[in-house]
Structure 1
Amino acid sequence: MSAIPKSSAHLRGVLFFSALALSSLVSARSTDTNSDQAYKALPNSPAAWSAAARNDIKIAYQETYDNHPGVYDAQNPNFRKNLQRAKERGLALAAKVTNAAGYKAAIERFNVSLQDGHAGAYTNLTETDLPPLRWPGFITVWRGDSLYVYASEAGGPESGAKVLSCDGVKTRDLVMKNLFAFRGIASEPGAWWVLPRAIFYDVGNPFITRPKRCQFAHERRTFSKTLQWQLTNDNFNKWRNESYNGDELAVGMTEPRPRLFWVAMPSFQPNEKERDAYRTLTADIEAQRQRYLDSDAIVIDLRHNQGGSSTWSKQFARALWGNDRVNRRLQAFAQKQEVWWRSSKANTAYLADMVETLKQEKQVEAAAEFGKVQVGMQQALARGDTYYMNTKDASDETTLTPEEAKRDLANDPPAFNKPVYVIVPGQCASACLDALDVFTRFDNTKLIGAPSSADSTYMEVRQKKLPSGLATVIIPNKMYVNRPRGAGVFYMPAIPVTDINWSTATFLKVIESDLASKKPR
């Protein structure tokens, strides 16, 4: 899908939407044509806000039921039950809504109750519609299994201080109550590396109790502080951005020191400039492959990446390891996998729009692939079939086992066997996870950083703004059947990086240390 709008109001929803719907093959480029207009007017009374929440949750439920592939998924018999539960829980909260912040919380309760990072809804409320964002003068980050202070204004807890509890409630329990009750999936370790810091963002949610006094531990001493909630300032914005994934590098390759190459992939939803940078990167690998074969290591930096199109990671992998090597291993990895598209009228129209967009972007291969899918969906719709089953071409089929697929063939280019470090952030989902599926087919790949997020088997999402304009529903179009990485499965790092500062310098130090440990003494 296209990137969720990063307005201030949305960002205070915590910059992470439980791996919210990012397409596994190509990012969705548009919303439905009838959803371009913003809401005409906000509800003007507590009763009107409650009515809007109830109505929008009912419509979001129906849009999901009518179009989501999970509704008829035999491998997920609980989907309908979860969808019904989401509606009931959302409506229960909607009955108590009196303002914009309550409306937002009710939509979030509907969304989180689905426990599906590729479905749900989000609000379109702006910063001026909601209560002013407040904070206690410090920013926290989750590292390993605890919450730590990242940075603090004068008089606040020191950087590095561990948050033990607030108002007698242990930190983990507070996170469950105030955060995961409204967004994220608590069973995914990656979500813990991203969301918990938001217990110290006051977004005006009327259904939680804001912490008042917290206990900290630092340098063998414990202490308590009464929180001084206040309007946010420049420090809040600066520290929040820095603490998320560290510094963000532009798409492309740098060489921090001779023979160590750093490949930044902060987004798989690239704009035109970034698409050109990816193409240049791949062309450089292909043209100067010997240079990289002689390297000490290659670092693939996925910090800030929240998915998009898996095209970019596959193209890079094929250039680095060899086209046929990558294809054989992926075919063996996913030889039983099938892709089924929910052939509803709205989903089919969306695919037609996507194909035209891909043509305009000159993504010829992707446009051809999705053009075939669109025709198949149209035919399935005409027949009254629930799904269009995208069968594999004969050239894509293989009977090789994963071990057999690892064997080099005579026509393969020289093998790339130098260490590959992949920096994984906690929000890595969808096409970012697809990239890990590809990179980890090779034994010289080592994951470092945080546990990844996880996916359901539902992908290729579109957005549809609800008639009120106050919220947008997220609808995946396809599902994987027999995907080797099952629903809810995540990647764990071989080297966890629990430093509070996730800067490039920090990761460079970790990587250099690991490389040094392998050198003969």
Structure 2
Amino acid sequence: MNRTIAAVSAAVLSLTLAAGAAVAQDFRALAQQDLQAAHDALAANHPAAVVPGAAGDGFRAWIDAGLQDAQGRAGRVNSGDSHAYLLRYYANGFRDSNIAIRPTYEGLGPYFAIGWPGLTTAWRNGEYVVSYVKPGVRNLPPVGATLVRCGDKSAADLASDRLDRWEGDLTTEAGKVRTAPYLLWNRNNPFAGGVPSLCTFKVGRRDREFQMQPQPVDAASLEAAYRATVYMPPANPLSVETVDGRPWIHVHSFADSAGWDAFNAAIEAQAPAIRAAQGVVIDLRGANGAATNATARGYGLANRIWTPEFTVSRQPEAGSITYRATPGNRQWYAEALGRMQADPRFVQESGAVIEQTQALIAAFDSAIAAGQQTFTMPGRPSVPDTGAANPVAGKVVVLVDGGCSGGCLDTLDLLTRLPNVRLAGSTTAEDSIFIEPTVMRLPSNYAELSYGHKAWTTRTRGNDAPYVPAQGLAYTGNPTDETAVRAWVGTLFQ
């Protein structure tokens, strides 16, 4: 994002007009109010509060303790940015990928900082290494140097203080990858501090100290630094190309706006060639699967490549779903039913979904009337093997990274069950068993809380468990060097 635009977006939050005069917002009070509202909504409605098992342990341990922790920091909230950071801190403390508190206004974006030392670090192979140095800036460690410490804090402790919960969840591999560029940046987070002054890096075999001098901030340099560190999907996220004689199917987004109609048509037209090829790559790097229809799109892709007759018996069993019986959760389904019934086309084409939703609301009513905390609804059973032959002749490499999340992981649940499929790349994001988002506006009107309101307790993939490529299929090089990535993928077909 352009720095000027970001600065204006943040500044707008600092003032409101009242009776023609500019009146400063009390962001401390707003933060305290929003934190309490988020706590109360989660305590009242989130399944983890009452569903037994280890999946809810983190929720139950943080819901009250985290509120007290965050409220104790509220005295340092003095701006829209700090308000957003404190709410993110509380949400990320649940260690649940489907609990989030996001600004309702245009945020800072991935390329934002108000200060930086002219370099960026990446999380690679268990260490923070220099991934980018701004041309012309002298007396900095070279690309490839490993951060040892800044002042009296080790690199790990520094990351815990400056990044964990504030920028993401550092208990996960994907969280470390996504947040690493910001380790030495000043992102206008008063809880994390500015640019460190003195840091030690291992250069070759020697530890060397470097003075970190804040450099002028410009949007182009920050974007270049980030893109040299974390893989970013191309402008056209959906496409099919031929690489080394093999179909390379790009699926870097599950968003509605990605162009799925044209892409699906291209896959259907090229399906015979894809199936006959001696090797196929399905590239899911950076594929954020937060879109509502992401899972259906992923399954639809598999059906177009393999055929529905072949994939249907290999789809993971849906299993049973546990619902927390609260008026708030019931209201979510009642409102959804109202939208369905108001859409004539939906009524005509999806009457079964309407009936299922009506049955679910009736189950809520029965459970609430009986004083039950939860109730469980059965899922779709597995389908017996149809006996259909595998239409795909060659090996299939599915390429992933920490950007594969949400519905992308559901897609992997299917793809990894298909024959001759090898998962390669780096560790994916993780996905909570607490699914189907409720989104509510918090009292300040500057933030929204999102959380999963039902529990998929029988899911084969564990709670917040990522996919990790097996040894020999894990890429350890620079993920932003596309030439190197493609050359490495080519070796997997040898």
Cα distance in 1, alignment partners of residues 342 and 430 from structure 2: 28
Determine if the alignment matches structure 1 residue 511 to structure 2 residue 483.
no
Q: Residue in 2 aligned with 1:425? A: 401
2:252 pairs, out of 243, 260, 266, with 266
Q: Is the contact between residue 179 and residue 199 of structure 1 (CA under 8 Å) also seen in structure 2? A: yes
235 and 122 in structure 1: CA distance in 2 versus 1, 3 angstrom threshold = same
Q: Is the contact between residue 253 and residue 288 of structure 2 (CA under 8 Å) also seen in structure 1? A: yes
Q: Residue in 1 aligned with 2:82? A: 102
- The alignment covers a number of residue pairs equal to 461
**CA shift at 1:58, angstroms?**
0.6
Give the alignment's TM-score, normalised by structure 1.
Answer: 0.79
Cα distance in 2, alignment partners of residues 228 and 342 from structure 1: 53
Cα distance in 2, alignment partners of residues 100 and 93 from structure 1: 15
Determine if the alignment matches structure 1 residue 158 to structure 2 residue 133.
no
Determine if the alignment matches structure 1 residue 328 to structure 2 residue 316.
no
Cα distance in 1, alignment partners of residues 299 and 239 from structure 2: 15
Determine if the alignment matches structure 1 residue 241 to structure 2 residue 227.
yes
**CA shift at 1:513, angstroms?**
1.9
**CA shift at 1:145, angstroms?**
0.9
Q: Is the contact between residue 112 and residue 181 of structure 1 (CA under 8 Å) also seen in structure 2? A: yes
Query: CA offsets per residue over residues 212-250 of structure 1, 9 Å max, x none?
Result: 222223444443221122443111123313532145253
Determine if the alignment matches structure 1 residue 435 to structure 2 residue 411.
yes
Q: Residue in 2 aligned with 1:252? A: 239
Cα distance in 2, alignment partners of residues 359 and 324 from structure 1: 31
Aligned partner letter, 2:366: R
Q: Residue in 1 aligned with 2:176? A: 192
**CA shift at 1:339, angstroms?**
2.2
Aligned partner letter, 2:241: T
Cα distance in 2, alignment partners of residues 292 and 358 from structure 1: 38
1:275 pairs, out of 254, 257, 260, with 260
SS of 2:213's partner is coil
What's the Cα RMSD here? Answer: 3.3
Cα distance in 2, alignment partners of residues 418 and 8 from structure 1: 48
**CA shift at 1:318, angstroms?**
2.0
1:149 pairs, out of 110, 130, 150, with 130
Determine if the alignment matches structure 1 residue 116 to structure 2 residue 96.
yes
Cα distance in 2, alignment partners of residues 104 and 252 from structure 1: 36
Q: Is the contact between residue 92 and residue 99 of structure 2 (CA under 8 Å) also seen in structure 1? A: no
Q: Is the contact between residue 111 and residue 183 of structure 1 (CA under 8 Å) also seen in structure 2? A: no
Query: CA offsets per residue over residues 10-63 of structure 1, 9 Å max, x none?
Result: x99xxxxxxxxxxxxxxxxxxxxxxxxx998399668x2221111110111122
Q: Residue in 1 aligned with 2:52? A: 74
Structure 2 counterparts to residues 447-458 of structure 1, below 5 A: 447-458=423-434
Query: CA offsets per residue over residues 433-490 of structure 1, 9 Å max, x none?
Result: 1111111102422222211121220112132221211211112232202111111322
Aligned partner letter, 2:287: N
Determine if the alignment matches structure 1 residue 379 to structure 2 residue 362.
yes
451 and 354 in structure 1: CA distance in 2 versus 1, 3 angstrom threshold = farther
Gaps of 5+ in 1: 1-6, 13-37, 517-521
SS of 1:140's partner is strand
252 and 240 in structure 1: CA distance in 2 versus 1, 3 angstrom threshold = same
Structure 2 counterparts to residues 425-504 of structure 1, below 5 A: 425-494=401-470, 495-504=473-482
Aligned partner letter, 1:255: T
**CA shift at 1:202, angstroms?**
0.9
Cα distance in 2, alignment partners of residues 368 and 305 from structure 1: 31
Q: Residue in 2 aligned with 1:83? A: 63
**CA shift at 1:209, angstroms?**
3.6
Structure 2 counterparts to residues 360-379 of structure 1, below 5 A: 370-379=353-362
Cα distance in 2, alignment partners of residues 39 and 59 from structure 1: 21
Aligned partner letter, 1:179: L
Determine if the alignment matches structure 1 residue 296 to structure 2 residue 274.
no
SS of 2:451's partner is strand
Cα distance in 1, alignment partners of residues 343 and 254 from structure 2: 15
Q: Residue in 2 aligned with 1:228? A: 213
282 and 66 in structure 1: CA distance in 2 versus 1, 3 angstrom threshold = farther
Q: Residue in 1 aligned with 2:72? A: 92
Percent identical pairs in the alignment equals: 19
269 and 356 in structure 1: CA distance in 2 versus 1, 3 angstrom threshold = farther
